[in-house]
Amino acid sequence: MQPEANFRTQTQRVDPNAVRVWRWQAALACAIPTIPLLAIGFRIPTSLWLVIVFAYFVLAVWCVWKWPPAYYNALEYGVDTRGITIQRGILWRSRIALPRIRVQHTDVSQGPLQRRYGIATLKLYTAGSHYTKIELSGLTHDRALALRDALLAAGGDSGV
Amino acid sequence: MRCSPRVATVASDADFAPTLRLHPLSWLFVLVSSIRQFIVPVIAVLVFGARDDGSMWGIVIVVPLVVAALWRQFLFRYGFGPRGLVIRDGLLFRNVRQIEYERIENIDTERGILHRLLNVAEVRVESSTGGKPEALIRVLALPAVEELRNRIFERGRAPTQAAPTADEGDILLRVSTTELMRFGFVDNRGMLVIAAAFGVFSQTGSMGDIGEWFGARLFKNDAGETGMAMLAVGAGLLVAVFLIVRLLSLVWALVTLHDFTLTRFAEGLRVRYGLLTRVGLTVRLPRVQAVHQTETVMHRFFGRVSLSADFAGDGMAQSDGDGTPQLRMRWLAPICTPRQSAQLIRIALPMLANDSTVEWELLAPGAKGRLFRKAVLLSSFLLAVPSIYLLGFAAPLVWVAVVPLAWLHATQYVRHTRWALTREALLFRRGWLTRRLSVIPRSRIQTVQEAESPFDRRKEMAVLIVDTAGAGSIASFVRIPYLRGQVARELAMELYRSAKDITIPRTQAAGAL
């Protein structure tokens, strides 16, 4: 039995356009703290303020430029007859396996940014307690719909 | 497969009109429960506001509630349709709800003192969907509850014969008063009362008064005696708190779990307990998701264990009809001998009957070292400030205590933590002071996750997290740490693969029921 080898052969990456979406999202998220950051400039010594701004700028560049491709490279999913396996994370890595008979219902959602790049998020809901919603973002919309149909096709059991 | 009957249900039950009504005094219980929600603000107003027009406000609040409760009772109907329980409800917006008999997993009843005086019960009907109960029927007369229970578990057919013995079933466990006293001694529930009392005192400002009183008594003495007096009072207080906690836990156990009886009937288990509020719980066996056995130091002193179960639908966000969280422990046995526990586990999880033998596996070899380092670092971090403050340059002396204790913890934890995978289930034992055993049937596993932190990766280890339905409490969260990376991956894949293999016969069995 070689689950490892078996698993590896089936994995796929999400759509490369996802990186652009994540970059935009990261940029928007990083833009929010700039307002308080500029505001505190009047209250603290200028030298200290410059250091903070520079540190924040470096962090923001890393988040916007480096993190999305790294996350993209770490994100893999595999679909087989039994269900779906999703592997993700750069420092804290996890691989979650969800048998399709456990899928209670599914959502395919798209935000405005995602729609611009034709990307969608597939959300799978289980009857579990701690991991009731399992998300896979970065799929193309068509792929997300196809995956949803594939995972639901064999459903029908109450899943508990 | 099982979707199609649901569609058919709607069609065939469409012309079915429910005719049965609630107990004539139902409005009273609805009112009581509504008032209970207002009681905290009302008390707050009475105590702090001290308003003179209290009675006026009472009338303004209560009258509409009574009218609403009566109107609701007047409209409420339920009935046994061909395929499911039909409930018509609604104040302004009518709602007709149909719950397929096959999907109903659990019927809970609850009877407070008022319920028992009037011979009625509050009934909750739950399906496997989770979250809220599918139906909260407040309230029914006892014979009506019994009929409801029988009709639901006999799929809506009128009972062929009145079978009084079917009600009783086989008694699997009856917890005697002596055993309950032991349980009270083991359990720390009395701590909650202390915490609540503490909260009330500190809120109302009485805490300061008590402090002043003690201060006045103590510091009246000469300076030399103060230290000793403080010590004596401190020790006395600790002993007193300990005794009060024990006593309260004892009373709590005797009252809430009075006459705890676990019986078995054709398809499931029935649990009944409570002196003032009598709780009745009927559960189908397929709804039992996992079983957890707990053994604290006190348990071992008495040679006992506690056994609880996770039921499908008892999620984290579970609430009853009023939206109040329901944090009830699902006991199979609040206290029993390890031998009884083993028998009960087999009854609650029948798939274990012809299981393969259990072969325990240990954690990864490096686990002990990591646990030791983690314990030392964590306690050093937590103790750093207090020890430097109290001991000054002698602060490193703390390590004299910390290092051996951390070593003891690491050694004992690794010795008592192990897991096993049988043909039907995953078993996980953990802890050394409080020892827990979780038994999770493979067919009940929802998701399997294998995760590694940077620290795990450095030592080629991984964590396995198994999620099941109804595992809301911390005690039932199954997370196997410090596994060898390869072992964790193989275990995760194996559990993922077997999910389907086992579920097919189970589905057929459920259909045949």
Q: Which of B310, B446, B453 sits opposite A92 (nearest CB)?
A: B453
Predicted confidence (pLDDT) per residue in A20-31, tens digit: 999 999 999 999
Token pair 């003032």 is at which residue? Answer: B276
Q: Which of A7, A130, A157 sits opposite B507 (nearest CB)?
A: A157
E-assigned strand segments in B11-119: 77-80, 84-89, 95-100, 104-111
Mean pLDDT over the full length of chain B: 80
Predicted confidence (pLDDT) per residue in B139-161, tens digit: 899 899 888 888 887 765 555 44
Q: Please calculate the CA angle B10-B11-B15 and round it to the nearest 5 degrees.
A: 95
Q: Give the strands of the sheet with B84-89, arranged side by side.
A: B77-80, B84-89, B95-100
User: Taking CB atoms and an 8 Å cutoff, what residues of chain A touch B496?
Assistant: 82-83, 85, 97, 99
Q: What percent of chain B has pLDDT over 90?
A: 31
Q: Please give the residue that has the higher pLDDT: either B117 or B39.
A: B117
Q: Do B447 and A102 touch (CB under 8 A)?
A: yes
Q: Do B3 and A156 touch (CB under 8 A)?
A: yes
Segment 102-141 of chain A within 8 Å of chain B by CB: 102, 126-132, 134
Q: Do A102 and B449 touch (CB under 8 A)?
A: no
User: Taking CB atoms and an 8 Å cutoff, what residues of chain A touch B451?
Assistant: 89, 92-95
Q: Please give the residue that has the higher pLDDT: either B179 or B395.
A: B179
User: What's the pLDDT band for B210 if we cut at 50, 70, 90?
Assistant: low
User: Taking CB atoms and an 8 Å cutoff, what residues of chain A touch B466?
Assistant: none
B470 min Cα distance to partner chain A (Å): 6
Predicted confidence (pLDDT) per residue in B82-96, tens digit: 888 888 887 677 788
Q: Which of B100-114, B152-166, B326-340, B475-489 has the highest mean predicted lDDT (pLDDT)?
A: B475-489
Poorest-pLDDT segment among B81-85, B109-113, B499-503 = B499-503
Give phi and psi for B188, each to the nearest 5.
-110, 20
Q: How far is CA A104 from the centre of its chain?
A: 21
Segment 411-450 of chain B within 8 Å of chain A by CB: 444, 446-450
Provide the token pair at A83: 């269900």
Which one-letter DSSP state was computed for residue B268? E
Provide the token pair at B353: 């009957």
Give the residue from B146, B251, B289 showing the smallest Cα distance to A128.
B289
Q: Do B469 and A129 touch (CB under 8 A)?
A: yes
Q: Taking a C-beta distance cutoff of 8 angstroms, is the pair B305, B337 a contact?
A: yes
* Closest residue in A to B287 (Cα–Cα): A160
- B164 pLDDT exceeds 50? no
Q: How far apart are the first and last CA of chain A?
A: 28
Can you give the pTM of this predicted structure?
0.78
Pairing relationship of beta strands B77-80 and B331-336 according to DSSP bridges: unpaired
pLDDT at B362: 94
Contacts of B6 (CB under 8 A, 6+ apart): B100
Q: Do A82 and B469 touch (CB under 8 A)?
A: no
pLDDT at B48: 58
- B6 pLDDT exceeds 60? no
Give the residue from B150, B262, B144, B251 showing the smallest Cα distance to B192.
B251
A34 min Cα distance to partner chain B (Å): 31
User: What's the pLDDT band for B190 if we cut at 50, 70, 90?
Assistant: low
Sign of the torsion angle spanned by Cα atoms B343, B345, B351, B352: negative
Instruction: Compute the average pLDDT of residues A47-72.
Output: 93
How many CB pairs lie under 8 A apart between chains A and B? 118
Instruction: Identify the three-state secondary structure at position B257.
Output: coil
- A3 pLDDT exceeds 70? no
Q: How many CB atoms lie within 10 A of CB B281?
A: 21
Which contacts of A72-78 are long-range, i.e. CB under 8 A and separated by 24 or more positions?
Answer: A72/A13, A72/A14, A72/A16, A72/A18, A72/A19, A72/A22, A72/A138, A75/A13, A75/A14, A75/A138, A76/A11, A76/A12, A76/A13, A77/A11, A77/A12, A77/A14, A77/A136, A78/A7, A78/A10, A78/A11, A78/A12
Q: Which of A124, A130, A132 to mutate to test the interface with B (most CBs of B within 10 A)?
A: A130
* Closest residue in B to A98 (Cα–Cα): B447
Q: Is A152 on the interface with B (CB under 8 A)?
A: no
Q: Which of B454, B472, B486 sits opposite A129 (nearest CB)?
A: B472
Q: Which of B57-71, B367-381, B383-397 has the highest mean predicted lDDT (pLDDT)?
A: B367-381
pLDDT at A88: 94
User: What's the pLDDT band for B129 if we cut at 50, 70, 90?
Assistant: low
Domain boundaries, chain A: 2-13+77-153, 17-71
User: Taking CB atoms and an 8 Å cutoff, what residues of chain B touch A157?
Assistant: 1-2, 503, 507
Q: Do B452 and A126 touch (CB under 8 A)?
A: no
User: What's the pLDDT band for A66 if we cut at 50, 70, 90?
Assistant: very high
Q: Which of A85, A129, A135, A136 to mutate to test the interface with B (most CBs of B within 10 A)?
A: A129
pLDDT at B319: 41
pLDDT at B353: 83
Provide the token pair at B455: 């620290």
Provide the token pair at B88: 């018509």
User: Taking CB atoms and an 8 Å cutoff, what residues of chain A touch B472?
Assistant: 129
- Cα separation, B108 vs B328, in Å, equals 12
Q: What percent of chain B has pLDDT over 70?
A: 77
pLDDT at B46: 62
Q: Please give the residue that has the higher pLDDT: either A41 or B41.
A: A41
Pairing relationship of beta strands A119-125 and A133-140 according to DSSP bridges: antiparallel
pLDDT at B127: 72
Q: Taking a C-beta distance cutoff of 8 angstroms, is the pair A79, A110 a contact?
A: no
User: Taking CB atoms and an 8 Å cutoff, what residues of chain B touch A123?
Assistant: none
User: What's the pLDDT band for B202 if we cut at 50, 70, 90?
Assistant: low
Q: Do A129 and B315 touch (CB under 8 A)?
A: yes
B277 min Cα distance to partner chain A (Å): 28
CATH architecture, domain A2-13+77-153:
Roll (2.30)
User: Taking CB atoms and an 8 Å cutoff, what residues of chain B touch A94?
Assistant: 449-452
Predicted confidence (pLDDT) per residue in B411-457, tens digit: 999 999 999 999 999 999 999 999 999 999 998 899 999 999 999 99
Predicted confidence (pLDDT) per residue in A67-123, tens digit: 999 999 999 999 888 889 999 999 999 999 999 888 888 889 998 999 999 999 999
Instruction: Compute the average pLDDT of residues B45-51.
Output: 57
Instruction: Compute the average pLDDT of residues B296-300.
Output: 92
Contacts of B488 (CB under 8 A, 6+ apart): B450, B461, B462, B463, B464, B480
B3 min Cα distance to partner chain A (Å): 6
Q: What percent of chain A has pLDDT over 90?
A: 56
B80 bridge partner residues: B85
Helix (H) or strand (E) holding B141: strand B135-141
Poorest-pLDDT segment among B29-38, B141-150, B160-169, B267-276 = B160-169
Q: Is A95 on the interface with B (CB under 8 A)?
A: yes
pLDDT at B137: 87
Poorest-pLDDT segment among B68-77, B225-234, B260-269 = B225-234
Q: Which of B103, B447, B453 sits opposite A131 (nearest CB)?
A: B447
pLDDT at B10: 41
Question: DSSP H helical segments within B131-222, as ranges?
Answer: 142-153, 164-168, 177-186, 190-204, 206-219
Q: Taking a C-beta distance cutoff of 8 angstroms, is the pair B126, B106 a contact?
A: yes
Instruction: Identify the three-state secondary structure at position B328.
Output: coil
Q: Which of B56-60, B81-85, B326-330, B496-500 has the highest mean predicted lDDT (pLDDT)?
A: B81-85
Mean pLDDT over the full length of chain A: 86
pLDDT at B500: 57
- Cα separation, B252 vs B237, in Å, equals 22
Which one-letter DSSP state was computed for residue B25? T
- B398 pLDDT exceeds 90? no
Q: Do A97 and B452 touch (CB under 8 A)?
A: no
- Cα separation, B431 vs B437, in Å, equals 9
Q: Is A94 on the interface with B (CB under 8 A)?
A: yes
pLDDT at B430: 94
Q: Is B373 on the interface with A (CB under 8 A)?
A: no
* Closest residue in B to A86 (Cα–Cα): B449
A154 min Cα distance to partner chain B (Å): 9
Q: Which of A84, A95, A134, A151 to mutate to test the interface with B (most CBs of B within 10 A)?
A: A95
- Cα separation, B436 vs B473, in Å, equals 13
pLDDT at A78: 92
* Closest residue in A to B452 (Cα–Cα): A93
Q: Do A92 and B500 touch (CB under 8 A)?
A: no
- Cα separation, B267 vs B18, in Å, equals 26
